Structure 1
C-alpha cells in the first residue's frame, strides 16, 4: 500500500481498535504526507506542535477555497472552536466569563464535591452487579450529568440531546468520503435544534437567574460582554457537547488501558497519589481526540515541505503523542512518566476549553473505579468502537467483576 492512502486507511472503521501501526507508518513516511485526495497529513510531534501555534493555520473551514456555497448549506454562526482570532478570542473570553476570573479556582474546581458525590452515586447504583458496561453505566452518565448541572439543563432532557450530539459529532469527523452531504445536513439540523432548545431554556432564566451558565449568559449586565442569540446558541451547543464527549472517551479509554495493564492498575490502587499523572499519561497514550482539521492561510514551509494555501491539513495528534523523537518508549503506558507535554487537548489558541473539567472528572471517576477493577476482566477485547475516527473511543466496554478470593 502507498502512503497516499493513509488517511483513508486510518478512517476505515476496521482500524478503529488499533490505528497506532498506521500512525507509525505515517511518521516513518515523513513529517508531512500528501494524500491522494490532495489533503496533507502531519503525524510528528514537533511539526504538529509548531502548526498548532502558527497564526497562519486556520480552524475556520470557510478558509478553504470552494465553489459558491448553496444558501441552504450556509452556517450563519460557527462555534468559537472553528473560528480564528480575533473573533475566536472574543467569543472564547465571553464563554469563559461565567467560570470566574482566569487563574482562579473558579466554578469548575468548586464542583469537585458535586462530581465526587455524583461518582459515588453511580458506583452505588452498580451495586453487586457482576456485569457492567463502563460506557452506559458510568462513563457516559457522569460527565453528562455534570455538564447539565453546569449549564442548567434538566437531566431528564438528556435523551433529546444525546441524539443531537451524535449527529453533530458525526458531521465533524474527518472523512475521505466524496459525498458527505446527508451527514453534514443532519449535523446542521441537529445543531439548529439543540441551539433553539438551549436558547429557549436560557430565555426562561432572563430576569430570574439560577446558579448556572445559561443564566449567567442571558443576565450579563455589561452590554459589551453579552452574546447575541446566534452566539449563545452555538456557544451553548459547543459547551454541552465538548463538556461530555471527550470525557466519556477519556474515562472509558482509561479503564480499558488499566485492565490491559494489570501491573499499573495494581500500582495505582496502592498509590492513589499517582492518579493525576496517570490521567496525563492516558491523555498521551490513549487520547480522546485523535486528529484535527486545519487550513493554511498561506503557503507554509515546514520540515522541508510546503503546505499550500487553502489545502486540507489533518494534524494527527495521537500520532504525535507516540513520536519516539519526543517521548521515550512512546508505546509504553507509564503513569509516572515525566516531561509529559502531550497533545491530548491540542495546543495553541484552541487548547481544549474543557480540559480542566475533563481532567478533574477523570481523576475522580478513575479513583472511584480502580478499587473495583482489581477483580474485573474484559468481556470483549477489543470492544466495539464508535464510528468516529477523530473522537475515538469504545461505544461499549463490557466488563465482568469477579468476587475477590
Structure 2
C-alpha cells in the first residue's frame, strides 16, 4: 500500500527553494552525499527557481508529472530553449511526444521485449555471465582493481554491441567512441581542456556514421541483431527510417551504458559499505533480484531528469506552473521521500512495495530496464562470488562531475591479503 499523505507544506506561501540548495546539489562537493540536500528540497515539493524553472522533489508530485500528458519531452515546447545534444541529427524517441514517441517505441519493442520477443533477456544470460566472468578473469589475481575501468565500463559496451549485432572487429572502436562521449558529458568548462569536448563531438559523429553504414549493409539481410531486425521489419507501424534506427542504437549505447556503469559501480560500493548484505548475497544468490531493485531506489544511476516542458499551465501541489516552463524532476530525492518509503535512508534488500523511480516512469519508462537489471544482477553476483575479501581503498570514492548521471568515476578495491 502506498504511504502517500497529502502534504500542505506550501501553505506558508514558500514556493522557492531554500537559498542555494539546488546550486549546492549541482556543486561537485555534494556529489558523494547529496541526500541531505534532497531532504532540504522536499520541504518545498514544487520550487520555482530564479530562472523561471521549477524543481519537483517529492515522490507523489514526481510520479504525477511522469504520468501527466501535459508534460512534454520535446525541446521545442520550452519557452526558453535548451541546446540540443546533436545539431541536425534525428532525435531518439526519448525526446519525442505522442503519437511519434509511441509509434517509435512500439517499433523498437517488437524486437526488444514482450510480447513479441519475450525471451530476449533470458536468451542473453549465458552471454552476460561469460562476459562478466571473462572481465573478472583478467583481474582476478590483481591485488587492486578499479571496478569502473576493469569491469563496469567494458561490460555494457560489449553487451550492447552484441544486442545490436555490431561486428566483433568494430567493438574496440565503439568502446573508444563511448568513452569519448562519456568524457564529453562530464566536461567541465574552465577546468577541462576543450579537446575533451571536441573529442566527444567527433565521437558522436563517427558513431552515427558507422551505425548508418551498418544499417545500410543490413538491408535485405535479416539477422539476429537489433540493427538488422529494424532495418528489415515491416510491422503494423511501417518501417523505421535509417536515421531513426541510428538514433535508437545510439540511445541504447549511450543511455544504456550510463545506466549500467553507474548501477554496477554503485552496487559494489553499497555492498562493500554493507558487508552483512554482501555476505548474505554469497549464500543466497536469489537475493540479488530484490537487492538490485533496492539499489535502484537507494543509489540510482540517474538522479535527475533535467528538463521537461509544460504543454499548458498545470497545477502541482497548489502551485501553478506556467505553459512553456522548464521542469526538473529530482528522481533520487523522490526515492528517499519518507512519505513514500519507510526509513528511506536505510539500504534494505528485503524492502516490500518498492516502486522506485530508478528507471523513471510513465511513457518514458526506461525501455532497456529489463536488460540493465539482468546485467547488474549477473555482474554483482559474479563479482561477489569471485573477488577475494574485497575492501574499499577510498570511501567516499572520487565521483564523476555530473549531478544528473551520478556515480564514482573510479572505484578502487583491494582484494586478498589482510
State the TM-score, normalizing by the size of structure 1.
Answer: 0.90
Candidates 386, 400, 412, aligned match of 1:386: 400
Task: Give the whole-Å Cα distance in 2 for the aligned partners of 1:160 and 1:4.
Answer: 46
1:296–1:175 distance in 2 versus 1, CA, 3 Å: farther
Please state how far the C-alpha of 1:313 moved relative to its aligned partner.
0.6
Task: Give the whole-Å Cα distance in 1 for the aligned partners of 2:62 and 2:85.
Answer: 35
Candidates 185, 188, 213, aligned match of 1:200: 213
Residue number in structure 2 paired with 1:8: 23
Note if contact 1:254-1:366 (Cα within 8 Å) is conserved in structure 2: yes
Task: Give the whole-Å Cα distance in 2 for the aligned partners of 1:285 and 1:31.
Answer: 20
After superposition, what is the alpha-carbon deviation per residue over 1:366-399, rounded to whole angstroms, capped at 9, x for unaligned? 1111134561111111111112211111111110
Candidates 224, 234, 237, aligned match of 2:250: 237
Residue number in structure 1 paired with 2:158: 145
After superposition, what is the alpha-carbon deviation per residue over 1:196-254, rounded to whole angstroms, capped at 9, x for unaligned? 21010122222234321111122224595211122122111112112322011111000
Unaligned runs of 5+ in 1: none
Task: Give the whole-Å Cα distance in 2 for the aligned partners of 1:172 and 1:84.
Answer: 24
Task: Give the whole-Å Cα distance in 2 for the aligned partners of 1:266 and 1:373.
Answer: 12
Q: Which moved more, 1:123-132 or 1:270-279?
A: 123-132
Task: Give the whole-Å Cα distance in 1 for the aligned partners of 2:293 and 2:83.
Answer: 43
Please state if 1:287 is matched with 2:300: yes
Task: Give the whole-Å Cα distance in 2 for the aligned partners of 1:160 and 1:169.
Answer: 14
After superposition, what is the alpha-carbon deviation per residue over 1:27-77, rounded to whole angstroms, capped at 9, x for unaligned? 12x11111222221111001000000001011111110247x999985452
Please state if 1:269 is matched with 2:265: no
- After TM superposition, list the pairs within 5 Å mapping 1:203-242 onto structure 2: 203-222=216-235, 224-242=237-255
- Runs of 4+ aligned structure 1 residues displaced above 4 Å come to 69-74, 166-177, 181-190, 221-224
Note if contact 2:92-2:247 (Cα within 8 Å) is conserved in structure 1: yes
Task: Give the whole-Å Cα distance in 2 for the aligned partners of 1:114 and 1:163.
Answer: 22
Residue number in structure 1 paired with 2:55: 41
1:156–1:259 distance in 2 versus 1, CA, 3 Å: farther
Please state if 1:377 is matched with 2:391: yes
Please state if 1:310 is matched with 2:314: no
Please state how far the C-alpha of 1:163 moved relative to its aligned partner.
5.2
Task: Give the whole-Å Cα distance in 1 for the aligned partners of 2:246 and 2:207.
Answer: 8
Please state how far the C-alpha of 1:96 moved relative to its aligned partner.
1.7
Task: Give the whole-Å Cα distance in 2 for the aligned partners of 1:36 and 1:14.
Answer: 22
Task: Give the whole-Å Cα distance in 2 for the aligned partners of 1:48 and 1:211.
Answer: 38
Note if contact 2:17-2:47 (Cα within 8 Å) is conserved in structure 1: no
Which secondary structure state, in structure 1, belongs to the residue aligned with residue 76 of structure 2? helix
Task: Give the whole-Å Cα distance in 2 for the aligned partners of 1:4 and 1:71.
Answer: 29
1:103–1:323 distance in 2 versus 1, CA, 3 Å: farther
Note if contact 2:132-2:382 (Cα within 8 Å) is conserved in structure 1: yes
Task: Give the whole-Å Cα distance in 1 for the aligned partners of 2:417 and 2:249.
Answer: 44
Please state how far the C-alpha of 1:132 moved relative to its aligned partner.
0.8
Task: Give the whole-Å Cα distance in 2 for the aligned partners of 1:24 and 1:129.
Answer: 40
Please state how far the C-alpha of 1:99 moved relative to its aligned partner.
2.4
Task: Give the whole-Å Cα distance in 1 for the aligned partners of 2:63 and 2:111.
Answer: 30
Please state how far the C-alpha of 1:129 moved relative to its aligned partner.
1.4
1:324–1:341 distance in 2 versus 1, CA, 3 Å: same
Please state how far the C-alpha of 1:169 moved relative to its aligned partner.
5.6
Task: Give the whole-Å Cα distance in 2 for the aligned partners of 1:141 and 1:217.
Answer: 25
Q: Which moved more, 1:199-208 or 1:49-58?
A: 199-208
Task: Give the whole-Å Cα distance in 1 for the aligned partners of 2:253 and 2:409.
Answer: 19
Residue number in structure 1 paired with 2:375: 361
Q: Higher helix share goes to which structure?
A: 1
Unaligned runs of 5+ in 2: 1-15
- After TM superposition, list the pairs within 5 Å mapping 1:78-157 onto structure 2: 78-99=91-112, 101-102=114-115, 105-157=118-170
Task: Give the whole-Å Cα distance in 1 for the aligned partners of 2:186 and 2:322.
Answer: 22
1:328–1:341 distance in 2 versus 1, CA, 3 Å: same
Task: Give the whole-Å Cα distance in 1 for the aligned partners of 2:294 and 2:389.
Answer: 23
Q: Which moved more, 1:392-401 or 1:104-113?
A: 104-113
Task: Give the whole-Å Cα distance in 1 for the aligned partners of 2:336 and 2:376.
Answer: 21
Task: Give the whole-Å Cα distance in 2 for the aligned partners of 1:71 and 1:100.
Answer: 29
